[in-house]
Amino acid sequence: MAKLKHAMKKRESKPFKELLLALRARLRGDVSGLKDAALNKNAAEGSGSTLSNHMADMGSDQYEQDFSLSLMANEEEVLEQIDAALVRVNEGTYGACEECEGKIPKMRLNAIPYTAHCVKCADKIQRGM
Ligand SMILES: [Zn+2]
């Protein structure tokens, strides 16, 4: 088992494990909420005029937006990432960036609990660097 300085202790990662499990259940359609979510999605796609909300405080809103966007982008991929994150929880490496081994801020993990990278590295990867 890799010893990562910034990985969470089991006790710390437990809430995130529960988040991941809940998220996976939702993506797999194990809960009844999925039908509503799909309906909402269709409704959103159907309307051509989307009012853009300019929030003064972009902090957590931005995270939530990224989160739901990535959910819609590729659910299969997200499911794989969730599974990988659960493995990291079990191995005790969760919470550390897979790229630089730095600490992933809890705020980021709250928004994207399956992320394996800190903001910097995720940005680099997204840009294909
Ligand atoms: Zn990193």
Are 78 and 114 a contacting pair, CB within 8 Å? yes
Read off the pLDDT of each residue in 26-44 and give the average, rounded to a whole number. 60
Ion ligand 1: residues, CB < 5 A: 97, 99-100, 102, 118, 121
Residue 20 pLDDT grade (very low, low, confident, very high; cuts 50, 70, 90) = very high
- By residue count, the chain amounts to 129
Please give the domain boundaries of the chain with CATH numbers for all domains. Answer: 1-28+60-129 (1.20.120.910)
Q: Which of 63, 60, 72, 75 is nearest to 25 (CA)?
A: 75
Q: How far is the CA of 122 from the centre of ligand 1 (A)?
A: 7
Q: How far is the CA of 120 from the centre of ligand 1 (A)?
A: 6
Are 110 and 23 a contacting pair, CB within 8 Å? no
Q: How far is the CA of 33 from the centre of ligand 1 (A)?
A: 34
Q: For residue 27, how far is the Cα from the chain centroid?
A: 12
Are 10 and 99 a contacting pair, CB within 8 Å? no
Q: State the pTM of this model.
A: 0.65
> For 54-94, what is each residue's pLDDT tens digit?
444 445 566 565 655 555 557 888 899 999 999 999 999 99
